[in-house]
Amino acid sequence: MIRRNQYAILAVALSTLAILVATLHTAGGELPTGWSLTISDGDDALAGLIQNLLLFIPLGASLVLAGVHPLVAVAIGSALSCSVEFAQQWIPGRDPSLGDIICNANSTAIGVALVVFAPRWLWPPPRRAAWQALATACLAVLVWLGTGAVLRPIFPDPPYHNLWTPDWYNWGNYRGKVLSSQGTISARDRTFALQATVVAPTRPPGRDSPLVAILGGRDTEVVIFGIDGSDLTLHYAMRARSLTLENLDLRWRGALASVAPNDTFTVQTWRGEHGVCLGVNSAQRCEYGYTIGDGWKLIFYPEHFPVWLLSLINTLWITGWTIGIGYWAGRAGQSPVRVAAVALIVGGLLLVPVLTQLKVTPVHEWLGAVVGLGIGFLASDGFRVLKNRLGHYTRP
């Protein structure tokens, strides 16, 4: 019992530390001008809202597991959120918001509810477990379909016009010089081609900076070809941007590493039947695109994470969606519904990329699904001790 309390208290400490690290670092050079009274705003408003709803869930759950009364746990989460928002008034680049306090209080309550009602959803009878597995599989496939839908390019009808090295808010400003550029876009086929000849600046930009942008009517951003340090980046119009999710890019890391200051070089990109290609001078790489596992990046996109870490998180994202299916399928006895749930996941991994023009699901994401189903199945009978522990703080 003492050891379990220690683990729960450690979870409270770690979740609190994660909240403080995520919310109290600088995010710009200027102090906030005042409080925001909206639930969420900005170009990534929906992504920020989801982040806030997820951030305090571990705190709420761990507080109840540590023996704190559910209402007190919600009050603690709300008080911590208020403290964070007040502190953000003096942190450059932060945005103190009443909406964040509301979202974080709700997030804490969700974490509390997950523990309080755990006996109902974590240990259902076999028949209900089978249907929970199928419902979770349906939700996972819907999320994957949604990922593909919001990441598909959507090009407005012409005319288009080019803009060289624009100085936009929330972007860097490329200090080199564009000598020439040419590009074409097919709105019907969702294909494009763009090439630019550029003189490099004395030092590379410290953040993603537009090199050439193709704009549509009302200066709608259609394709943005950029440079971030030595990386070549590509943004194109997609529904994710209009839904105020994160602004994802396709990125060739280190593409410009051999380009010296004041060198003249040529960059190009095009999208065809087999994905997006990026090129620098005579070198080129193709088959860039998004996969089912990239869905988490729509909520939080750390573009400078190394490739191996991004791939690992993609794998864990798929694991997270399938572990519950394996768990409830393992508790479903011999019900054929559990077979349907697993079959739906396999079908989703195969067919969603075809239906939504995502890249074929890579091996490591298939591995994530297998690991999730396997861990869930093996754990289906492994939480008896936790069930007894939860019984002290929950109702059956």
pLDDT digits (tens, 9 = 90+) for 240-290: 998 999 999 999 999 999 999 999 999 999 987 668 999 999 999 998 999
What is the sign, positive or negative, of the torsion defined by CA atoms of 9, 13, 16, 18? negative
Q: How does DSSP classify residue 25?
A: S
Residue 323 inside a domain? The answer is yes
Asked if residue 128 belongs to a domain, the reply is yes
With respect to residue 331, please indicate whether it lies within any of the assigned structural domains: yes
d(CA 174, CA 208): 9
Same domain, 128 and 192: no
Claim to verify: residue 321 and residue 391 sit in the same structural domain? yes
Is the peptide bond between 124 and the residue preceding it cis, with omega within 30 degrees of 0?
A: no
207/227 same-domain check: yes
Region for residue 75 given its phi and psi (left: phi exceeds 0; alpha: psi -120 to 50; beta: otherwise)? alpha
Asked if residue 277 and residue 166 are part of one domain, the reply reads yes
Query: Is residue 197 assigned to a domain?
Result: yes
Verify that 268 and 176 share a domain, yes or no. yes
Residues 126, 83: one domain?
no
Instruction: Say if residue 58 is in the same domain as residue 144.
Output: no
Structure token digits, residue 26: 């600088």
Same domain for 214 and 319, yes or no, is: no
Please, what is the Cα angle at 32 between 30 and 35, to 5 degrees? 175
Q: How far apart are CA 38 and CA 57, in angstroms?
A: 21
Asked whether residue 112 falls in the same domain as residue 174, the answer is no
Does one domain contain both 67 and 172? no
What range does the domain containing 396 cover?
122-152+290-396
Residue 242 lies in a domain: no
Write down the pLDDT at residue 396: 44
Tell me, yes or no, whether 24 lies in a domain.
yes
Please count the structural domains in the chain.
3
Q: Would 244 be classed as within a structural domain?
A: no
Could you read off the pLDDT of 152-205 as tens digits, one per residue? 988 888 888 899 999 988 899 999 999 999 988 887 777 889 999 999 999 999
- The answer to whether 244 and 45 are in contact (CB under 8 A) is yes
pLDDT score, position 4: 61
pTM: 0.87
Q: Are residues 278 and 312 in the same domain?
A: no
Q: What's the pLDDT score for residue 390? A: 55
295/321 same-domain check: yes
Give CA–CA dist 324/375, Å, rounded: 9
Q: Is residue 243 part of a domain?
A: no
Positions of the chain with pLDDT lower than 70, given as ranges: 1-4, 27-29, 273-274, 381-396
